[in-house]
Amino acid sequence: MLSLLNAATSYIDKFMGIRISTRPDYIDDEVLNLLKNYKVTTIELGAQSMSDEVLKANNRGHSSDDVRNAAKTIKKHGFNLGLQMMTGLYKATAESDMKTALEFVKLKPECVRIYPTVVMKNTELADLYLRGAYKTYTLEQSVRLCADIMTLFEKNGINVIRVGLHYSNDLIKNQISCGYHPAFKELCETEIFYRNIKNKLTDNKNIVICVSPKSVSKLIGQNKTNIRRLNSLGYNVTIEKDETLGKYEVEIKDKGD
């Protein structure tokens, strides 16, 4: 740790601060005082789950209380707090994953990362999967769940800075489950937009959907997913850009208004 931090000291005036990621059970006052001296500003915890049953089943080596205690200590020392969760772990359910997200909200992190579990070859998780002892979420189930979780964090002012794993050739070559998608976050955002649109639909089938210019592609979705979904419901859709709207906001007008 010190060798890495020392390597950054000669560049410290060129950036705002250092972001690090660590285990919840590696945090104490001594470590935090040391990190502050090296201008670390954000500490992310690999919490993964707030279910002790899930943590134990996956050999995480820490408890949910370790996460709570570490989070409170980090904030007490004035660091920004980040929390990382994994959905779909062994023994997890959609309900336990949502409870993890709700527990995260209570800890008031500045940011979160959401990583759907991907089963890799030659791992204990792969053995469980191949024996049928562990059933993963389908991609569709994972998208719906993570869209729920993202919406929860968004409503509570928590910045979601990552959803899904970075693309790599090794990941593609060695995964044996169906949970990975290279644009997973965009799939979730498209689902969020579809829900927001459906909540505003009226009986008029000719509609204009207004959305932020930055969000047009996410609203439309890959291969025009949301347009096709709306078309299947009988709606004729036109998209208009509106710079006054927020990231996931939509307004719907009848054509000709």
**The CATH number of the domain where 115 resides is what?**
3.20.20.70
Give the residue numbers spanning the domain of 113: 2-182
Residue-level pLDDT at 257 = 56
- Residue 187 in any domain: the answer is no
Q: Check whether residue 26 and residue 152 sit in a common domain.
A: yes
For residue 203, the domain's CATH number is: 3.40.1260.20
Q: Check whether residue 197 and residue 228 sit in a common domain.
A: yes
Which residue among 153, 182, 211 closes a domain?
A: 182
- Residue 219 in any domain: the answer is yes
Q: Check whether residue 103 and residue 147 sit in a common domain.
A: yes
- Residue 113 in any domain: the answer is yes
Q: Check whether residue 110 and residue 202 sit in a common domain.
A: no
Confidence of residue 102 (pLDDT cuts 50, 70, 90): very high
- For residue 50, list its beta bridge partners: none
Q: Check whether residue 166 and residue 202 sit in a common domain.
A: no
Q: What is the DSSP string of 200-228?
A: T--S-SEEEEEE-GGGHHHHH-GGGHHHH
Query: Is the pLDDT confidence value at 202 over 80?
Result: yes
Give the rounded distance of the alpha carbon of 11 from its chain centre.
Answer: 30
Separation CA 175–CA 126 (nearest Å): 9
257, 224 Cβ separation under 8 angstroms: no
Residue-level pLDDT at 256 = 67
Backbone angles phi, psi at 114, to 5 degrees: -120, 120
What total of structural domains would you count in the chain?
2
- Residue 211 in any domain: the answer is yes
Which residue among 138, 161, 182 closes a domain?
A: 182
Q: Give pLDDT tens digits for 65-93.
A: 999 999 999 999 999 999 999 999 999 99
Q: Check whether residue 222 and residue 110 sit in a common domain.
A: no
Query: Is the pLDDT confidence value at 214 over 80?
Result: yes
Residue-level pLDDT at 180 = 84
Query: For residue 75, which of 98, 118, 116, 45 has the smallest C-alpha distance?
Result: 45
- Residue 188 in any domain: the answer is no
Q: Check whether residue 165 and residue 228 sit in a common domain.
A: no
Q: Give pLDDT tens digits for 126-181.
A: 999 999 999 999 999 999 999 999 999 999 999 999 999 988 898 889 999 777 88
Separation CA 145–CA 193 (nearest Å): 14
CA angle, residues 169, 183, 110, in degrees to nearest 5: 110
115 in the Ramachandran plot: left (φ > 0), alpha (ψ -120 to 50) or beta? beta
Q: Check whether residue 170 and residue 197 sit in a common domain.
A: no
Write out the two tokens for 116.
């759907």
Q: Check whether residue 46 and residue 84 sit in a common domain.
A: yes
Separation CA 49–CA 83 (nearest Å): 10
DSSP 165: P
Q: Check whether residue 161 and residue 212 sit in a common domain.
A: no
Q: Check whether residue 116 and residue 209 sit in a common domain.
A: no
Q: Check whether residue 247 and residue 133 sit in a common domain.
A: no
Which residue among 132, 153, 182 closes a domain?
A: 182
- Residue 146 in any domain: the answer is yes
